Amino acid sequence: MYKRYLVGAIFLAAILALIPFSYGQEAQAPIGVSISTDRDVYVAGEPIRINVQLTNNSAKRVWIVKPQEGSEQGFRYPYCIFEILDEKGVPVQDDSPACKTVDPVFKDGFFYLKPGQGVSLYKGGYRIDEAKTLPQGEYTIIFSYSTEAAKESQWYGLYADDFWAARNKDPFWKKRAGKIKDFNKSIRKVPRLSIASNPITIKVVGVTGIPKEEALKIAQEVCEKEGWEWRGVNVVDNGTYWDINTNWGSLGSNALIRIDKRTGEVLEKHLTGP
């Protein structure tokens, strides 16, 4: 069964306890946030893209800081947290291990919005990929955005206080001192706020299609036709398609055959070894 993993959910309860926002609060904030998806129903294993739209609701231009490495996990500000609730309203937790080491350098981080101007916070939408899918069911998704960092260091990652205090003596930080000085100037322009989006509901349904045994037969026929060796076979269920590899775990002419689980169509076939 596919588990639903969502980046940042494992820290959600602790983070949300620190962020005093509620849906509708954006009416008082200079910035509003809304989210949407391209459709309401997804097949288990399909990527889900969530569009996040920020809008300047004020009469003046407002500076924005984009999500940085670690923003979705709550490792640094701005916090960009995707909360996902199951049918009972219980947050779906991410029990996968996460690395807290993030690059402190901001990547194209700051820009401003003119009055009434909107912008998509994630180019192409925020993607929940095939490896981090929801199991079957209905889910509510809410996005929260916060710039209310209590400490300067929280913009650069959740480093220990003593580590941050010693940054002027650390070669790693000394090389970045000029950039951080510029970042701090930009950070001071960003309004301090915590806002939450509208809730959206999506439904995830299961895949009815060809079983693994039939997929193996199709893949074997492909290998025979292409002259590829059929041994050391490994099968991976990716929700909407099967990935079948030959000579699994060995160097050489390994083959990958990707088969659509719903139709039996061969989506990909190629050698993957050196």
- Residue at 1 is within a domain: no
- Residue at 116 is within a domain: yes
- Residue at 4 is within a domain: no
> The domain containing residue 255 runs over which residues?
212-271
Q: How many domains does the chain have?
A: 2
The whole model's pTM is what? 0.68
- Residue at 50 is within a domain: yes
Reading the chain (274 residues) residue by residue, the pLDDT tens digits are 333 334 344 444 444 444 444 434 434 689 999 999 988 888 877 788 999 999 999 999 999 999 998 899 888 999 999 999 999 999 987 665 566 667 788 888 999 999 999 999 998 899 886 556 778 889 999 999 999 998 888 998 856 677 777 777 878 778 888 888 899 999 999 999 999 999 999 998 877 778 899 999 999 999 999 999 899 999 988 777 899 999 887 766 689 999 988 788 999 999 886 6
Residue 95's pLDDT is what?
A: 60
Task: Collect contacts of 98-101 with beta carbons under 8 A, ≥24 apart.
Answer: 98/7, 98/10, 98/73, 100/70, 100/73, 100/75, 100/157, 100/158, 101/157
Residue 10's pLDDT is what?
A: 40
- Residue at 229 is within a domain: yes
Q: Quick one: which H or E segment has residue 55?
A: strand 48-56
172 and 224 housed in the same domain: no
